[in-house]
């Protein structure tokens, strides 16, 4: 699956102040790891955000968010935000911050 490289750059820019960012190809797209934990990624033109089980339902209540579902069974803890929901920098930053907060809640992997 191809992914939007411009969106990848926007996500990286949103986390420019961090020094523990690593890029990885995952789920047929691009993923961003913080201290070894996945925070968010890009699949096609959409943003994948790891929000955790506790933040899952609240994230799904937000506009443009839907479950991450590749196999007919949604992956609880991950949401996909369509391109319309991240068109502006402020909207993108809010979603990236959600993913960053969840990744930061986990112990670092090295």
Length of the chain: 110
What band does 51 get if pLDDT is binned at 50, 70 and 90?
A: very high
Over 80: is that where the pLDDT of 12 sits? yes
Task: For the full predicted model, state whether its pTM sits above 0.75.
Answer: yes
Q: Please give the angle made by the CA atoms of 80, 85 and 89, to the nearest 5 degrees.
A: 115
| Structure confidence by residue, pLDDT tens digits, 60-96 | 999 999 999 878 888 899 999 999 999 999 999 999 9
pLDDT of residue 2: 83
């Amino acid at each position: 699956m191809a992914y939007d490289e411009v969106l990848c750059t926007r996500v990286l820019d949103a986390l420019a102040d961090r020094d523990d960012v690593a890029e990885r190809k995952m789920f047929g797209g691009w993923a961003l790891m913080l201290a070894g934990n996945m925070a968010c990624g890009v699949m096609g033109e959409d943003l994948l955000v790891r929000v955790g089980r506790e933040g899952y339902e609240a994230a799904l209540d937000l506009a443009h968010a839907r479950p991450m579902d590749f196999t007919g069974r949604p992956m609880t803890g991950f949401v996909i935000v369509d391109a319309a929901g991240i068109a502006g920098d402020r909207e993108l930053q809010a979603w990236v911050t959600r993913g960053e907060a969840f990744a930061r809640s986990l112990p670092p992997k090295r």
